[in-house]
Amino acid sequence: MANKLLTFSYIATNAETNLVRGDLKAMNESSALAQINRMGLELISLSSKKESILDMELTFFEKVKPNDIYNFTRQLSVMLKAGVPLIDALDSVHSDQSNPLLSKTIQNVIADVSGGLSLSKSLGKHPKVFNGMFVNIVMAGESAGVLDKVLFQLADFIANDLKLKMGISQAIRYPAIVVGITVAVGIFAVTYILPRFSTLFSNTRIELPLPTRILLSLDQFTQDYWNIIIVSIIVFAAVFIRIIKTKKGRYEWHKLVLKMPIFGPIAKKMAISRFCHVLDTLDRTGVPILEALEISGKTAGNAFIEDRLKNVHKDVNMGKKVAFSINRHTYDIFPPHVLKMIQVGEDAGAMDDMLKEIGDMTDAEVKDHVLKLTATLEPLITVIMGVMILVLALAIFLPIWDMYEALSNS
């Protein structure tokens, strides 16, 4: 079981003899003194600090953005490349952090590394901040002695991934807003506007038109069974989440996602892109191919594809070529031209360049696919919204028109 980090308060002077106060986390007093020395401070006093309830790390609502991870990775790689010792580099990166959770995490990592733990194992203790892919790639860089190069390539990968996700987010933002507004207007009309008209309609003897009867019945149904509807939704969501958290459930769900008409092709291309980018990152920095395949195979983001890629690793471990193994186990996932490109790259001894080309090409295809999808959905959503508004208008105004005619004829 890992020792708990202690909080120490210190007062010291810097190189300009200015007074400096602060807190830091360390395994013990000796480790705290070592951190202060590395910061170039002259210690005046050091005392352990008992944390109150208000001082506890309430990280439930705290979040580290991918952009923060990118900045951390890029800065750390540049410093290591310049020959700065790891702990000094971490100290420097920590001093530039504005995100509270990331700042606390780096402080804990510094304490762990100072205590003799490797960087990858220290990062692995914080899965909320550094995911498994990040930790595994760092571990590979450590074992191959190319940590600075791996971190530099990893920062590039994070930047490309951010750019891709941002493009997708921007493309679907407008349709999502339109759908949200449409649903909100529909709920407001059915639950608030129509019930007020229903009282007026019930006092008349006119026969209500079909749109009005349907919407009033829908309103009555939701009023009578709202508790059952809400409980059913909660139970369904809880069961679904519980199922997909299991290994088998996640596998079957991801397999189903790949077969979906709209989202399947996008999910497949994104998995291929991630695999190729990570394999390129590791291969380019000199990580052994078996280790690179094992790590990159876990980063696809789809359990079904990751399971296939495990077989690729097994085949290569038995002496088969990478291109042959990928073709054998992912022929129904990787497009034929991608499989051919991997084979050409391996035969020419330039697989890292070919993998980068495949990753960039697939990213562009994903963006193009999403743009075409949104271009199709936008007019469709607009038409659906128009039809909904028309039905609501008819449901409200047709009975009023009938009432007016009835009064005119009486």
Q: What is the pLDDT of residue 250?
A: 92
Contact 125, 108 (CB under 8 A): yes
CA 276 to the chain's CA centroid: 18
- Both tokens assigned to 250: 């996640």
**Are 392 and 186 a contacting pair, CB within 8 Å?**
yes
Q: Is 115 exposed, middle or buried (0-12, 13-18, 19+ CB in 10 A)?
A: middle
Q: Are 286 and 144 in contact (CB under 8 A)?
A: yes
- The pTM of the full predicted model, rounded to 2 decimals, is 0.71
pLDDT tens sequence for the chain (410 residues): 445 567 777 778 877 777 777 777 777 777 778 877 877 778 877 777 665 544 444 445 568 888 899 999 999 999 999 998 998 899 888 887 888 888 888 988 888 888 788 999 999 888 889 988 898 889 888 888 889 988 998 898 888 888 888 877 877 788 888 888 878 887 787 777 777 776 666 666 667 788 878 877 877 888 888 899 899 999 999 999 999 989 999 999 999 999 988 889 999 999 999 899 889 988 888 888 998 898 888 888 899 999 999 999 999 999 999 999 999 999 999 999 999 999 999 999 888 899 999 999 998 898 888 888 888 878 888 888 888 888 888 887 887 787 777 667 66
Domain limits, the chain: 6-55, 66-158, 175-410
pLDDT, residue 341, reads: 94
* Structure tokens, 197: 């008209």
Within 8 A by CB and 6+ apart from 34, the residues are: 26, 114
Secondary structure tally for the chain: helices H, strands E: 16, 3
pLDDT at 58: 45
Q: Identify the pLDDT of residue 322.
A: 92
Classify 175-410 by CATH class. mainly alpha
On the 0-12 / 13-18 / 19+ scale of CB atoms within 10 A, 125 is: middle
What backbone torsions phi and psi does residue 8 show, to the nearest 5 degrees? -120, 140
Which helix (H) or strand (E) element contains residue 276? helix 263-284
| CA distance linking residue 105 with residue 76, whole number of Å | 15
Distance from C-alpha of 312 to C-alpha of 333, rounded to nearest angstrom? 13
Query: What are the tokens at 44?
Result: 């005046």
Contacts of 109 (CB under 8 A, 6+ apart): 90, 119, 122, 123, 126
Question: What gap in Å lies between CA 410 and CA 197, rounded to an integer?
Answer: 22
User: According to the model, what pLDDT value does residue 50 have?
Assistant: 60
Whether 66-158 shares its CATH topology with 175-410 is answered yes
pLDDT at 189: 76
- Give the Cβ contact number of residue 123 at 10 Å: 23
User: Which CATH number is associated with domain 66-158?
Assistant: 1.20.81.30
